[in-house]
Amino acid sequence: MPTCAALIVAAGRGSRFGGSLPKQYAPLRGENVLRRTLRAFASHPGVQRVVVAIHPDDQAIFNATAAGLPKVSSVHGGAQRQDSVRLGLEALAAEAPDLVLIHDGARPMISAALIDRVIAGLSGADGILPAVPVIDTLKRVDGDRIGETVPRENLVRAQTPQGFRFPAILAAHRALAGESLTDDAAVLERAGKTVKIVRGDEANIKVTTMDDLARLEGTLGETRIGQGFDVHKFGHGDGVWLCGLKVAHTQGLVGHSDADVALHAATDAILGAIGAGDIGQHFPPSDPKWKGAASHQFLRHAYDLLLARGGSLTHLDFTIICERPKVGPHRAAMVASVAKILGLEEGRISVKATTTEGLGFTGRQEGIAAQAVATVRV
Ligand code: MG
């Protein structure tokens, strides 16, 4: 087995990205883009070492990004991408691995299978480039005018990781120091060596804009649905709490907390979607701490658990079941109240109500029942 190092290029400032952080440090479902990239290489059995070329200003955020990952260390990059790669290769020169895989830090969707293909390809070449076909018709333009149609036969789109025999790419980078070629395959080509291609991966996109990041977020994770149900009975009082709102009524609801039956159902719905138990486990009625507690904190706690898992709430749908009080006049305010508790757009919250046609305990006006369904992405 040849020894193999990965060199991750993450020193750029990402001028096209427009966020407050360089794109490689932008959050992506619970971790940042670069950490996801690093995990792919650090966990690959064929890669013994991962060196990351970073911007000197990013040392602190890099340390936090790489915390706990095996095999990973950093080196300060240079002004241009090519400088950063050369400095990273120099950092590996002492141990001189047989192979090096040079990869963009902003390509977090790199798969173990593609890493395998690049390593395997290097048994028959000095350089390997993963390539994907050009599918769209290509046009050369002059301002807003079409100049010509470029034949796309024999054209491919180059991805990373580009793999190299280490001595060959180190020598080529040393010889071409100070130039600014677009990728490392071009550096090796200029040194007169042959670069071959292997099949790339359409999923292995480079995050360049906020739109790329948003698209990527949409493809990650899975949709889950959790449901919650709760009942509280009527007792003395002058109103009931529903969805974090006090609604005037001739009675109150009895409960250890403020008895907000709707928020309790929603709390259980979110906990259910992430398999995190139920509201009684998190906030035991036996604990005097929660006596008379405002239930928005229960919902917020469940939501924070979801966020901590890198999840997001797509939609939260309530059904409040009672004869009285009438929910309709308060529906919009309830939606606004829940949206405010969660810091989400009102469009993600739905409040509906129904009676049970006078039947059962809700029909006899002994209490209020509530159901909630949470759709989450985790
Ligand atoms: Mg309850």
How many angstroms separate the alpha carbon of residue 314 from the centre of ligand 1? 24
Residue 29 pLDDT level (bands cut at 50, 70, 90): confident
How many angstroms separate the alpha carbon of residue 230 from the centre of ligand 1? 5
How many angstroms separate the alpha carbon of residue 233 from the centre of ligand 1? 10
How many angstroms separate the alpha carbon of residue 250 from the centre of ligand 1? 20
As to burial, measured by CB atoms within 10 angstroms (0-12 exposed, 13-18 middle, 19+ buried), residue 281 is exposed
As to burial, measured by CB atoms within 10 angstroms (0-12 exposed, 13-18 middle, 19+ buried), residue 105 is buried
How many angstroms separate the alpha carbon of residue 81 from the centre of ligand 1? 58
How many angstroms separate the alpha carbon of residue 254 from the centre of ligand 1? 9
User: What dihedral angle (degrees, nearest 10) is formed by the CA atoms of 195, 36, 34, 303?
Assistant: 160
How many angstroms separate the alpha carbon of residue 327 from the centre of ligand 1? 18
How many angstroms separate the alpha carbon of residue 239 from the centre of ligand 1? 16
Provide the pLDDT for residue 31. Answer: 87
Measured distance CA(311)–CA(126) in Å, rounded: 42
Residue 18 pLDDT level (bands cut at 50, 70, 90): low
How many angstroms separate the alpha carbon of residue 258 from the centre of ligand 1? 9
Please give the full DSSP string across 102-164, using - where no structure is assigned: EEETT-TT--HHHHHHHHHHGGG-SEEEEEEE--SPEEEEETTEEEEEEP-TT-EEE-S-EEE
How many angstroms separate the alpha carbon of residue 28 from the centre of ligand 1? 34
How many angstroms separate the alpha carbon of residue 285 from the centre of ligand 1? 9
pTM: 0.71
As to burial, measured by CB atoms within 10 angstroms (0-12 exposed, 13-18 middle, 19+ buried), residue 51 is buried
How many angstroms separate the alpha carbon of residue 224 from the centre of ligand 1? 23
Min mean pLDDT across 21-30, 69-78, 101-110 is at 21-30
Length of the chain measured in residues: 378
Neighbours of ion ligand 1 (CB under 5 A): 230, 264
How many angstroms separate the alpha carbon of residue 298 from the centre of ligand 1? 10
How many angstroms separate the alpha carbon of residue 257 from the centre of ligand 1? 8
pLDDT digits (tens, 9 = 90+) for 48-95: 999 999 999 999 999 999 999 999 999 999 999 999 999 999 999 999
Q: What are the beta bridge partners of residue 49?
A: 5
pLDDT digits (tens, 9 = 90+) for 132-188: 999 999 999 999 999 899 988 889 999 999 999 999 999 999 999 988 898 999 999
The structural domains of the chain, with segments of one domain joined by +, span 4-219, 223-377
Which of these CATH numbers, 3.10.450.50, 3.90.550.10, 3.40.630.40, 3.40.50.300, describes 4-219?
3.90.550.10
Which DSSP state fits 289?
A: G
Residue 205 reports pLDDT greater than 80:
yes
Residue 19 reports pLDDT greater than 80:
no
Q: Which of 133, 106, 102 is nearest to 118 (CA)?
A: 102
Using the structure block, give the residue that is written with the tokens 């291609």. Answer: 197
How many angstroms separate the alpha carbon of residue 264 from the centre of ligand 1? 5
Provide the pLDDT for residue 378. Answer: 87
How many angstroms separate the alpha carbon of residue 195 from the centre of ligand 1? 66
CATH number listed for the domain at residues 223-377:
3.30.1330.50
pLDDT digits (tens, 9 = 90+) for 114-130: 999 999 999 999 999 99
Residue 190: alpha-carbon gap to chain centroid: 38
